[in-house]
Amino acid sequence: MSEEKTDAKLLEVKAMYLPAKDPYETATFYCEVFDLDPDASEQFPLKRKGNKIILYTKEGFEFIFLKSNDIMPLSFHNTEGNHHSVMFFQVTDLFLIYNRIKEKGLKIEGDEIVDRGSCGTEFAFYDPDGRRIDVSNWGTDTYKVSATEPKLIDASTLYLPAKNPYETAKFYCEVFDLDPNSSTHSKLKEGAGMVVLKTKYQFAFFFIISDDIMRTDFNTREHNQPAIQFQVNEIESILGKMEGRDVKIDNKVLDHEQLQRFSFYDPDFRKVEIIAVEDNENSNLKSHTTRS
């Protein structure tokens, strides 16, 4: 993997919180299709059959399934009518995964695998909770995965609708010190239909022009949970920038010894959770391989 990094204060997206009507059944599906380790989480393994189950990709990205009756499709249409998934899975053995999903009777978009040339081979499917997810073998050709290792390598990209991609991306660059030129082909440019930004450890955001407003939070029995979690290294300076812009802030906890966090609403009304982490050799952060 590339070790390219920047001085961005937004380090990483290490987790997605996902609503599940039955977390055990949903997590079982992911384990069986992608060969994820059901017991990788000591606190919330599959065998507990609880209201919260955590699974990990080979590169350590977390899927946190929480019991909820809310439906969060995580997809949208751009202004040209093209359907986009928010989540992008990088896998090995793509054809095996495709066949496993078909055997389970879940919907595959167009019932086909699409060859996108240098961008890899891919398909889109709908998981047990109705989420549309893109699956691709792009960037995984160097991985040698044993029969017991996860075939889901990483989930290193989010595709997000934006009424004005330039304005949304400009907000992220100014608040989180992201590099506006981190993309080879989709730099920050006024009037652009798509802008790509990357975190310090190369997690990618594709902001795509769309009139859709897509909710990224859901309700559990206990609280409202944002689906997307940012890891940052300077939480108070980021909060100060947002407060100066009158950004709506929720769930602010800055006086806890072990976990500082808050949630905010971005220019496209997405609710996102931010937590503070250490950025050092012991923090287990490493660079992703992402499209640009």
Q: How confident is the model at residue 279 (pLDDT cuts 50, 70, 90)?
A: confident
pLDDT over 60 (residue 186): yes
Give the distance from CA 114 to its chain's centroid. 22
% of residues, the chain, pLDDT over 70: 93
- For residue 285, the model assigns a pLDDT of 54
The CA-CA-CA angle for residues 260, 264, 267, to 5°, reads 150
Q: Are 197 and 182 in contact (CB under 8 A)?
A: yes
CATH number of 10-158+211-276: 3.10.180.10
Give the pLDDT confidence score for residue 98 in this predicted structure. Answer: 97
Q: Where are the alpha helices (DSSP H) in 145-204?
A: 165-176
Q: What is the pLDDT of residue 148?
A: 82
Task: Please tell me the predicted confidence (pLDDT) of residue 283.
Answer: 54
The pLDDT score that the predictor gives to residue 287 is: 55
Other C-beta atoms lying within 10 Å of the C-beta of residue 62: 17
Tell me which residue of 95, 106, 151, 162 sits closest to 133, measured CA to CA.
106
238 exposure class (CB count in 10 Å sphere: 0-12, 13-18, 19+): buried
C-beta separation of 150 from 56 below 8 A: yes
Ranges of each domain in the chain: 10-158+211-276
pLDDT: which is higher, 25 or 8: 25
State pLDDT tens for residues 189-232: 999 999 999 999 999 999 999 999 999 999 999 999 999 999 99
b (16+ CB within 10 A) / e for 143-168: bebeeeebbbbbbbbbbbbbbbbbeb
What 3 state SS string does 96-124 have?
HHHHHHHHCCCCEHHHCCEECHHHCEEEE
* The pair of three-digit structure tokens given for residue 128, joined into one six-digit string: 């047990």
pLDDT tens profile 42-81: 999 998 888 999 999 999 999 999 999 999 999 999 999 9
CA distance 32 to 73: 21
Q: How far apart are CA 126 and CA 85, in angstroms?
A: 10
> Could you give the percent of the chain with pLDDT greater than 90?
80
- Residue 221, classified by CB atoms within 10 Å of its CB into exposed (0-12), middle (13-18) or buried (19+), is exposed
Question: pTM of this prediction?
Answer: 0.92
If residue 33 lies in a helix (H) or strand (E), which one and from where to where?
Answer: helix 23-34
